[in-house]
Each structure stands twice: as structure tokens, then as C-alpha cells.
Amino acid sequence: MADLIAKSPCEGLLPVTIGGISLTEEQPGSMWALAPFKGQEKALGKALEAAHGMAFPAVNRATGKAGSRAVWFGREMALLMGPEPDANLAEHAALTDQSDAWAVVRLEGAGAEDVLARLVPVDLRPHVFKRGHTVRTELKHMMASVTRTGPQAFQIMVFRSMAKTLVHDLKTAMEAVTARG
Amino acid sequence: MRITCPLCGERDRREFYYKGAALVRPAEGEDLDAWHQYVNLRENPAGPLDELWYHEMGCNSWLKVTRNTATHEILAVQLASEAGLGGQK
């Protein structure tokens, strides 16, 4: 049998550090979209709480912690990142495996907001966009999910096929922000 | 131009995709005239117009947006699913 070698979306592209800002690839584990059936939102919330210890995220919010997160991912949808979804969740929601579909990176350091301000048309400054806040938006014309995971840290996701573009655009913005001194 | 999505909040126009006039879909069994009107005929006002916009880069909701075509002022935004445009509830 062929010996398959797993390759992460940003392999060979990251990590990169420019000035005080670092860009690294995240290995979030499995990623599943949870889309509650009609009228099952509350039941799904309870099942998620019981199985994985986190609430179903409200609009523009993420719950859980590093390694086991639920990120709001669009209308009536959340992305479970980390654990394999408990079988009970399938009674209340459509579950879709998206583990290999997304490139996930972490942008961290002083000035991370300034980098994203060049690429994302949403206000991500810390007094508006706090830890646990998330947005579905665009990043240089790519559909993206941006979540604040720390005081100076963001988790950024785009489709896997756009990983190289994502890294290129983020690097360019990091260089431009750093050059301003 | 910025549109306040009922879910995501105020967002830049570039996150949205434009469809066209938001018309009430004729009921099942309506005559050909009603369907002709729905499919082909459009008002072209220099003023407020109900339109469908899709929050493509955000929450993926269809929105009914009332926009002044002369000034681009956004007068009202509502989820299309709650706007009573017909089709399946």
C-alpha cells in the first residue's frame, strides 16, 4: 500500500517573524461544521455543553479554549475545532468534516492589529474586538474567519487552496507595518 | 457605502454581492401576467428601492436592503427570510 504523507496547508511557508510580529501555522486537529436543524439550536447547545464543555457560540463569538474551540462560522453554523464531535451532536445538527479544508494561522505580536487593518475591512482594535470575538469577513478578497485568541494574537483561517496567498499577503503587510517603525 | 447586516453588524460594501430588486414572489397558480411581471418587469426609481444583497464574505445571509439609488443611502436592512418575499418559509 502507498505510504501517504500528511502535508499541512502552510508547510514550507511558515513560521515567519518580521519585526515583533510572528506568523505561525496552527494545527487545530479536526474541524467540523455544526449546523443545527430547524428548532434544534437549544438542544444542540446542551449536547455540546455536555459532550465538549462549551456553549454554542453566539453570533460573532467563539467559545472554549485553545485545543477545543467552537467558533461562530456563519449564519446558524459553528466550527468545532479540536475534538471529534460526539455522536450525540448528530441528532441535533448536520455535521460536516472540514478538517483538511482550511488553512489556520496565528498572527501574534505588538502591531498585529495594524497588519490586519491593511487587509480586513473590520475594526479589530482591542477595545472593540476582544478575546473570544470572531468575524467572518474578507481578507484581501478571500473569505476568512478571524478570531482573537489573546491580547495580541489572532487566529486567521482561509480556504486551504489559498494558503500561499494568505501567507504572502500577511507577510507583505507585516513588512509594511514593521517598515513604518 | 456600508450595510448593517442584522447578524454581523456594520460592514463594508465589498463583503456583499448584489442580486437585484427584492420582489414578492407570486403565489402558486398565479397567472402568466403575474409571473411576467415578477421575472421581467422592473421599476427603475431615482430614490428608495428594495433590493436583495447577499452577505457573501460574512454570515451568508440574503438581505433585503432598502437603498436610495440616487444617494446610496441605506435606509433599512432586514433578513430576506423574514421579509415576507414568498417562497418556502
The domain boundary residue, chosen from A97, A131, A155: A97
Rounded to a whole number of angstroms, the distance from the CA of A40 to the nearest CA of chain B is: 17
Inter-residue contact A19 to A177 (CB < 8 Å): yes
Does residue B89 fall inside a structural domain? no
Tell me how many domains chain A contains: 2
Confidence of residue B87 (pLDDT cuts 50, 70, 90): low
Confidence of residue B88 (pLDDT cuts 50, 70, 90): low
Across chain B, what does the average pLDDT equal? 93
The domain boundary residue, chosen from A46, A72, A97: A97
Q: How far is CA A75 from CA A43, A177, B53, in A?
A: 17, 33, 15
Q: Are residue A173 and residue A105 in the same domain, yes or no?
A: yes
Does residue B87 fall inside a structural domain? no
Which residues from chain A sit within 8 angstroms of residue B9, using beta carbons?
Answer: 60
Give the ranges where chain A is alpha helix by DSSP (H): 41-52, 112-117, 163-179
Does residue B36 fall inside a structural domain? yes
Asked whether the beta carbons of residue B15 and residue A138 sit closer than 8 angstroms, the reply is yes
Domain assignment of residue B6, given as a range: 2-82
The shortest CB-CB distance from B57 to any of A60, A75, A138 is to A138
pLDDT digit string, tens, across residues A91-116? 999 999 999 999 999 999 999 999 99
Interface list for A 3-22 with B (CB within 8 A): none
pLDDT digit string, tens, across residues B2-32? 999 999 999 999 999 999 999 999 988 889 9
Q: Residues A45-58: what's their mean pLDDT?
A: 94
Burial class of residue A40 in the structure, from the number of CB atoms within 10 Å of its CB (0-12 exposed, 13-18 middle, 19+ buried):
middle
The domain boundary residue, chosen from A57, A78, A97: A97
Q: Are residue A83 and residue A38 in the same domain, yes or no?
A: yes
**Residue written as cell 433585503?**
B64
The C-alpha atoms of residue B1 and residue B73 are separated, in whole angstroms, by 8
CATH of the domain at A175: 3.30.1360.120
Q: Are residue A169 and residue A113 in the same domain, yes or no?
A: yes
CATH of the domain at B15: 3.30.2270.10
Q: Residues B39-43: what's their mean pLDDT?
A: 94
Confidence of residue A17 (pLDDT cuts 50, 70, 90): very high
Does residue A105 fall inside a structural domain? yes
Domain assignment of residue A112, given as a range: 16-27+101-179
Does residue B13 fall inside a structural domain? yes
Q: Are residue A152 and residue A82 in the same domain, yes or no?
A: no
Q: Are residue A174 and residue A113 in the same domain, yes or no?
A: yes
Q: Are residue A62 and residue A85 in the same domain, yes or no?
A: yes
Does residue A68 fall inside a structural domain? yes
pLDDT for A1 equals 73
Does residue A46 fall inside a structural domain? yes
Tell me how many domains chain B contains: 1
Does residue A51 fall inside a structural domain? yes
Most B CBs within 10 A among A79, A124, A136, A162, hence the mutation to make, goes to: A136
Asked whether the beta carbons of residue A136 and residue B9 sit closer than 8 angstroms, the reply is no
CATH of the domain at A75: 3.30.70.1520
Does residue A1 fall inside a structural domain? no
ipTM of the complex: 0.86
pLDDT for A31 equals 96
Least confident of A68-77, A114-123, B13-22, B78-87: B78-87
Q: DSSP class of residue B29?
A: T
Q: Residues B34-47: what's their mean pLDDT?
A: 94
- Taking the Cβ of residue A122 and every Cβ of chain B, the question of whether any pair is shorter than 8 Å is answered with yes
Does residue A7 fall inside a structural domain? no
Does residue B76 fall inside a structural domain? yes
